Amino acid sequence: MPPAPPLFEFESVNVGDPEARRLDGLDARLPGTGLTVVAGPSGSGKSTLLRLCNRLEVPTAGTVRHRGTDITERDPLELRREVAMVFQRPVAFAGTVLDNLREADPECDETRGAELLERAALAASFLARDADELSGGEAQRACLARALATNPRVMLMDEPTSALDAKAASVLEDLARQLVDDGTPVVWVTHDERQMRRLADDVLLLAEGRAERAGVPEEVLGDGKR
Amino acid sequence: MESGDVGYLGLAASLVLVAIALAINLRLRLRLERELVVSVVRGFVQLLIVGAALAIVIDPDTSLLWSWLWVVGIVVFAAATVKRRAPAVPGLFWIALAANGVSAAVGFAVTFGLSIFPVEGRTLVPIAGMLVGNAMKSGIVVAERIVEALSERRAEVEARLALGQPWKQASLPIVRSTLRTALSPQIENTKALGIVFLPGAMTGLILGGAATTTAVTALGAVRRLFTSDHRLVALPRSRRDTG
C-alpha cells in the first residue's frame, strides 16, 4: 500500500514580490496526522504558509498540494470549509455566540450549538451571550467552536494563544490536542519554543521564507539546552 | 437679479466673505492663506472659462447636440474624479461612469419624460450638473469608505471567508454599513428640506440619483476588491501579519 500523501506539500513556493518575498522557494511537507508546529522568527513566513493552506493567499510561483491534490484544482469555498482556521486574535461577529455559529452553519440549532461549544470547553449557556462581551480566552474558544461548525478535516491555528493569558492558552492547547486525538490533524503556528515542545508531534522550522529544518521536535530543536 | 446675473456688487460681496475667511485664518494661524487664495483665483478663472463656454452651449441658437456633449463631459469628469479619490479600486472609473450615467439617465427620463422641463440646453446642462454632481459626491464617499472599511475590518472579512463564505456574503455587513454612512447625509438633507435648504423640484431626483450611484458604486467596487477565488486583495493601510 503506497504511503498516504502529506497533509500539505509546498513545492518551490514563492509569495510576494521579488524584493519583498514572504516565502522564497519553500519546499516542505506537513505530515498527514498529528499536530504539526510551524515555527520560526517573526517575518519568517509562518502565517503566510498557513494562509496558503486554505487559499486566503495564493503563491506567486510554485504549487501547494492538499492530500496530493493541487489546491488550485479545488473549489476554494469547499476547501476552506474542509480546512478550517483559527486566527491570532479572536474575531467575534456581531450578535450572540449562537449567531456566530450560524455564520458557519446556518442550520445550527441550540442542541448542535451546545455540542460545538462543549468541544471548545464552553458551557451551553454561552450560546445566548453577546459575542462582543466575551473575555479573550472565551472569545478564542468561541471562534474555535465556530470553525468546528463546518465539520473540518484539518484545523489551522495561527498563534491562537498569543493574545491570551497562560491559563487560557493552556485550555486552548488541550483542545488542540483533543482534536488530534479525535483524528483531526492540526497545524499550529507559534514562535514560543516551550509551547512547541509541549505540543508538537512534528515541527517545521522556517527562516527567511524557507524551510530550515523539519522533523520530530527532538531532532529539530535539539535537547532543549539551546 | 431676476436674470440670475451676478453684478460687480455681488462679486464684491463674495470677496468680502473670502476676506473674512482669510482674516479668521490669519487670526487663528491656520496657515491656509496660500491654499485659500489659490483656490479662490483658480475657481474664479475656471468659472469664467466654463461660464463663457456654457453661454455658447446653452444659447437657443446652438445645436442641442453640444449640450448633450457637455452632459457626457460632466459624466466622464465625475467618473474620473471618483476614480482619483479611491485609486485602490481596480476599474473604478468604469464603475463610476456607469453609476453616474445611470443616475443621469434616470433623472432625465423623469424630468423630460414627464415634461417637467422642456429639453433645452438651459435645462439639460444644469440638471445634469445637479444630478451628476450630487451623485459624484455620494460615489466618492462610498468608494473611499468601502476601501477604508474593508481595510480596517480585514480580519473580520477573512474570518468569514475562512468559514467558506463567498465574497458577497463575507462583505455584506461592511457593504450595508458603508451604504448607510454614504446615504445618511442625503437623507438628512431631504429631512431638512424647507428648513435649512431651499425646497426644489429636483430634490427627489437628486436623492434617487445619489442612492442609485451609491449602490452601483459600492457593489461594483466591492466586486473588484475580491478575486475570483474569493480572496480580499491587498489594500492601503491594511495590516498584514507577515509572521
Question: Which pLDDT value is given to residue B211?
Answer: 79
| A158/B241 CB distance under 8 A | yes
The tens digit of pLDDT for each residue in B20-46 reads 888 988 888 888 888 888 888 888 888
B238 belongs to a structural domain = no
In a shared domain, residues B51 and B87 = no
Q: Residue A78: pLDDT above 70?
A: yes
| A43/B159 CB distance under 8 A | no
Query: How would you classify the pairing of strands A35-39 and A186-190?
Result: parallel
Cα–chain-centroid distance for residue A65? 16
Give the pLDDT mean for A58-79.
96
Q: Which domain holds residue B163?
A: 63-224
**Torsion over CA of B222, B226, B229 and B233, rounded to 10 degrees?**
-170
In a shared domain, residues B28 and B94 = no
Q: CA–CA distance from B226 to each of A119, A137, B106, B143, B170 (Å)?
A: 33, 31, 29, 14, 10
- The answer to whether the CB of A30 falls within 8 A of the CB of A13 is no
- The answer to whether the CB of A138 falls within 8 A of the CB of A146 is no
Neighbours of B113 (CB within 10 A): 10
CB-closest option in A55, A77, A189 to B166: A77
Distance CA A22, CA A14 (A): 7
The mean-pLDDT minimum among A23-27, A68-72, A154-158, B204-208 falls in: B204-208
In a shared domain, residues B16 and B111 = no
**CATH of A8-89+153-220 given 3.40.50.720, 3.40.600.10, 3.10.20.30, 3.40.50.300:** 3.40.50.300
For all residues of chain B together, what is the average pLDDT?
A: 84
Question: Which pLDDT value is given to residue B197?
Answer: 54
B230 belongs to a structural domain = no
The tens digit of pLDDT for each residue in A88-139 reads 999 999 999 999 999 999 999 999 999 999 999 999 999 999 999 999 999 9
Q: Is A48 in the B-facing interface, judged by CB distances under 8 Å?
A: yes
β-bridge partners, A96? A130
In a shared domain, residues B115 and B216 = yes
CA distance B240 to chain A (A): 10
Q: Is A26 in the B-facing interface, judged by CB distances under 8 Å?
A: no
The tens digit of pLDDT for each residue in B221-237 reads 999 999 999 999 988 86
B150 belongs to a structural domain = yes
The tens digit of pLDDT for each residue in A146-186 reads 999 999 999 999 999 988 888 889 999 999 999 999 999 99
Give the pLDDT mean for B87-111.
90
Phi, psi of B231 (to 5 degrees): -120, 145
Distance CA A142, CA B53 (A): 65
Question: Which pLDDT value is given to residue B94?
Answer: 95
- The answer to whether the CB of B127 falls within 8 A of the CB of B204 is no
In a shared domain, residues B123 and B157 = yes
| Chain A nearest-CA residue for B165 | A77
In a shared domain, residues B128 and B204 = yes
In a shared domain, residues B117 and B191 = yes
Q: Which residues of A touch B160 (CB under 8 A)?
A: 93, 103
In a shared domain, residues B4 and B110 = no
Question: Domain segments of chain A: what residues?
Answer: 8-89+153-220
Question: Which pLDDT value is given to residue A117?
Answer: 96
Q: Is A108 in the B-facing interface, judged by CB distances under 8 Å?
A: no
In a shared domain, residues B35 and B91 = no
Q: CA–CA distance from A107 to each of A60, A111, A116, A129 (Å)?
A: 37, 11, 13, 19
Distance CA B115, CA B77 (A): 28
Question: Which pLDDT value is given to residue B6?
Answer: 63
Q: Which residues of A touch B156 (CB under 8 A)?
A: 91, 93
Q: Which residues of A touch B155 (CB under 8 A)?
A: 87, 89, 91
Q: CA–CA distance from B218 to each of B13, B69, B76, B233 (Å)?
A: 41, 27, 18, 16
Among A25, A46, A59, residue whose Cα is nearest residue A192? A46
| Neighbour order of strands in the sheet with A154-158 | A83-86, A154-158, A186-190, A35-39, A202-207, A210-215
What secondary structure does DSSP assign to B206-240, as a single string? HHHHHHHHHHHHHHHHHHHTB-TTS-BPP-TT---
Q: How many domains does chain B have?
A: 2
Q: Residue B210: pLDDT above 60?
A: yes
β-bridge partners, A126? none
**Helix ranges (DSSP H) in A13-119:** 46-53, 76-82, 97-104, 110-119
Q: Residue B83: pLDDT above 70?
A: yes
In a shared domain, residues B33 and B96 = no
Task: Please provide the distance, in angstroms rounded to a whole number, between the alpha carbons at the two ends of chain B.
Answer: 68
Burial class of residue A72, CB neighbours in 10 A (0-12, 13-18, 19+): middle
| B229/A42 CB distance under 8 A | no
Q: Which three cell numbers stand for residue A17?
A: 514580490
In a shared domain, residues B141 and B127 = yes
- The answer to whether the CB of A205 falls within 8 A of the CB of A193 is no
Q: Which residues of B touch A48 (CB under 8 A)?
A: 242
In a shared domain, residues B89 and B152 = yes
B166 belongs to a structural domain = yes
The tens digit of pLDDT for each residue in B45-78 reads 888 888 888 888 778 888 889 989 999 999 999 9
Our separate counts of H helices and E strands in chain B read 8, 0
Instruction: Out of B32, B57, B82, pick the residue that ends a domain.
Output: B57
Question: Which pLDDT value is given to residue B62?
Answer: 85
CB-closest option in A46, A80, A88 to B163: A80
Distance CA A205, CA A210 (A): 9
